[in-house]
Structure 1
Amino acid sequence: MRFIRYAAAVVVSGLVAAGAQAQGWPEQVRFGGFGQGFGKPYGLAVLAIAQGKGFIADEFKGTPVKLSFEYFTGTGPAINEAIANKRLDFAQYGSLPNIVGRANGLPTRIVTSYGYTTIFGVARPDLPVKSFKDLKGRRVAVAKGTVLHWAFLKALEGNGLTLRDVTLLDLATADQLAALTAGSVDAVIGSSVLLSLRDKGLAKVFYSSHDIGPKAAGFGAITVTESFEQRYPEATQRVVRGLVRAAEWLGHEENREEALQIWTRSGVPYQALRDEYAGVALKDIFNPRIDAFFVSQYRDAVAFSQEQKLIRSGIDLQQWFLPRYVDQALDQLGLQGTWPRRDANGKPLEG
């Protein structure tokens, strides 16, 4: 039944595309995503699955459109720079650089969620660091301007600390690993790649957002530039449909191992990825909906960014989000019941 619905959707989409031919197809669709600092041309989360499994490429069969994927060592700030320089059409990256870019006039629109990222805090094994409170007076490394930076500031606030209580060092992922190993920093806040140090006995984990829940995790979006979306709405729809298909594939437990193997291409060790997602349903993590929960996360992050003086002005979320592309993809693919809409607290809505 799902195949029949999808086949019908492709026919309808083809008719829409005929109208779009007056505008022409883009010669190329350029994707950017967060990398892990190892110089690998592969990434993580939904975009890596959509690339690795060919879901987006399938959507453009029979068209002259070429696809390119780039994963940035500098993560969010580097992606914002690439968008500003008109090097990208779509980008998958964290909420804080999303927000900073938009607040500074970057012409992006949010078309879907990429899910959420587990945040880890690790410290040198010889130090008595058991919680964020124990970071007072310590040297802490984090990649500034990223969603990890946002999560770090939130966790400090939740433990009664401020930036004045720590010495913050702005380091990329690969440099963080080297600095902690050398003892030049006391702790690092980052992603699951840090677990490789734990496995070597070079660090101990004192914090995981997985223990608290989605509200504490890092989150972000996949954006499209305003100029691309306005000129190529059908191409935009096809990209989002490919991303939704990737999220749906991730939701099947039998695909977990293959997904982990695809993500290891980024340079993150398999065991670290396995530990990050142990005991959690990938279907829940990679929910593509722009619903009340997703909007509330961004509303909170925008307010917090203003409080922390990371941005000067607020953002009109209604103008920023474009939920219609995900909604239409769910209808076309017969997946409306796959992910229930959530309220602002993340609870599924009935009906």
Structure 2
Amino acid sequence: MYKVEWSEEMEILIGPYHDFICEVLKFVNEEPKFIVKQDSDTSVLKKKMQTMVKEESNIYSFFEVAIRTNLKEYICELKYEGINLLDQYNEFVDNYENFLSLEWNANITYSKQVTEAFEYFYTDLIHGKIFNDLIGESNAIKEFRERITLESTCPYCDIHDMEFDIASIDHFIPKARYPLLAIYPKNLVVACSACNDRIKKEKLYLPIIHPYFNNLDDYFCFTYKNNVIEFEFLDHISVGDREKVENFFKLFNIEKRYNRYCQKKLKRLKEEIQRNVIKLIKSSKDITIGEIESNIREEICEQYNYILKEKKIDPLTKLRLDYLKQMSKEDLSDLSLYIANENSYKPIAFGMN
């Protein structure tokens, strides 16, 4: 629901994945080149790497990883493709945001071998000790998930706290459909398991906003009327941006989830405001409806400032802040009368002493 700032810490942890892919795909384009598969190809490739490791001119940092893992077998498979995967990868990365905005079309089909190789990179390689000891930070992908989940809510829904054990890493552009982005750092978003594993899965609707590039809060506000939570676009939002937000809401089923699970949060918030005002005026003997309303507005302001401090930390801050803004603009005379009745006395006429 809120933008996730791409921090220096995040770059240190998983930024090296991008350089790793570029190195691997650069080497795939170089000798030895395999045309017809032979059983000896992997051995030939391994010997080539072992030789190059000893050379002062060697520019590759992943050879030891490849020699000691199954990476060398997958590099062999990529060499058989006979296409420049490095160019395809760099073009996609350069146009990542344009792809999300439908301003660039990734008109690429991937073989089973390419899909399996990049699935291996994400599922096995980057989680392994050998890779993490030699490339980047130790256990970087786990550390990335842990750091993001500390005092944070899901950037997709803002409904759930992201505890480490129930958060997962989402491929915003699904790796099953676009495997070249399987470990591209800015395609990896830590989210709650509800959004990633049960709702989004492999779906994607374009054009769409992305939490690393956009702050959803800037585009709309929630409203709560007649026991229905809806969202309204801010006046300055363009038609194109509206479509991006609507697709985001559709992808994560936001409206349905909010109306099913989040209305009680607003009811409790209103009840808390009522209780606090009742406590505040309990000892007052003479008070006007106008004064009660003034106390309500002060309490709304206090609640707003308190929740604002917990933005991105406590769940549903966007919903609650928007609801308080809505309340502050409404006629609160009925609520004032309700509080007066709850306080068991007849207030002096509205606005008069």
TM-score (norm 2): 0.22
Larger Rg: 2
TM-score (norm 1): 0.22
More strand by percentage = 1
More helix by percentage = 2
